[in-house]
């Protein structure tokens, strides 16, 4: 799917001694919607979805610190954590003047959304869409993620990076060529010798050791009352079926939509976008 019609705007927002890069879509007078990406990704992953929903929402898609064009941390043990990211998110809501906003979070973005919805900022979320993550993440899945995120590959050409990204992120599901090409263009940085590597700070995986307690948060999840919906990849190892079933019985007791893919549904195809729009409307966003 090629993005046509709406075009994004880009801002650099000062937050908590960082500079956060934000992709903005739609009329600022529209209903606020925050889309937050996964661990080693960026806000540009949402281009197709955000462009489509910008007809009724003002959508912001931040790059988490340590990713994309946002600044890197000088104190990664403290700042590369869900708690700190939630603080950044709350300040971004203030910056944009959002008293309340809907939230769609993929993987890490879902953890941040759950953190907000279970704490003092809970009343600021009108709706919470959690894309393929839960309040418990299996250790085997964590080990897999740490392996591929920590071992940053190096390429001679951006086209080689695109081929690698298509392979590693195949579980995301079906997506158009434009999506993969943009992923490559927004997911690389040049090294001093002219070669290409991935955009993010390899230290972002420190959250799995320095703040490991944030990966098992059923107690916090039980406190969520925000209208909520769960999206799951059918073969996801991050959100196993048994965890998803427990989520539907506890806390916000969300409905669930399952996509025929792994971790995590990319939500880029027209039929996927239609489902997300319907979910947001059902939640009252």
90-123 pLDDT, tens digit each: 999 999 999 999 999 999 999 999 999 999 999 9
Q: Which residues pair with 23 in a beta bridge?
A: 10, 61
pTM summary value: 0.96
In this structure, are residues 103 and 127 in contact, taking their beta carbons and an 8 Å threshold? yes
Give the pLDDT of residue 2: 45
Spans of the chain, pLDDT less than 70: 1-4
- Scanning the structure block, which residue is given the tokens 């995120």? 149
Give the pLDDT of residue 4: 54
């Amino acid at each position: 799917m090629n993005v046509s019609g709406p075009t994004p705007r880009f801002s650099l927002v000062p937050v908590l001694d960082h500079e956060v890069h934000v992709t903005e879509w739609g009329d600022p007078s529209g209903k606020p919607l925050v889309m937050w990406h996964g661990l080693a990704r960026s806000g540009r992953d949402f281009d197709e979805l955000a462009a489509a929903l910008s007809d009724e929402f003002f959508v912001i898609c931040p790059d988490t610190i340590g990713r994309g064009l946002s600044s890197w941390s000088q104190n990664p043990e403290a700042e590369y954590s869900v708690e700190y990211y939630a603080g950044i998110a709350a300040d971004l809501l203030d910056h944009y003047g959002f008293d309340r906003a809907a939230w769609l979070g993929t993987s890490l973005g879902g953890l941040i959304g759950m953190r907000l919805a279970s704490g003092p900022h809970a009343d600021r979320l009108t709706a919470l869409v959690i894309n393929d993550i839960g309040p418990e993440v299996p250790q085997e899945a964590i080990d897999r993620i740490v392996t591929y995120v920590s071992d940053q590959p190096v390429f001679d050409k951006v086209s080689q990076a695109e081929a690698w990204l298509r392979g590693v992120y195949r579980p995301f599901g079906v997506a158009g060529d434009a999506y993969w090409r943009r992923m490559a263009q927004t997911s690389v940085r040049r090294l001093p010798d002219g070669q290409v590597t991935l955009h993010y700070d390899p230290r972002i995986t420190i959250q799995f050791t320095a703040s490991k307690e944030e990966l098992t948060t059923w107690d916090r999840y039980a406190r969520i009352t925000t209208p909520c919906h769960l999206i799951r990849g059918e073969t996801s190892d991050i959100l196993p079926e048994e965890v998803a079933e427990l989520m539907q019985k506890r806390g916000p007791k969300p409905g669930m939509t399952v996509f025929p893919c792994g971790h995590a549904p990319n939500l880029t195809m027209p039929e996927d976008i239609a489902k997300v729009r319907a979910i947001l409307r059902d939640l009252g966003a």
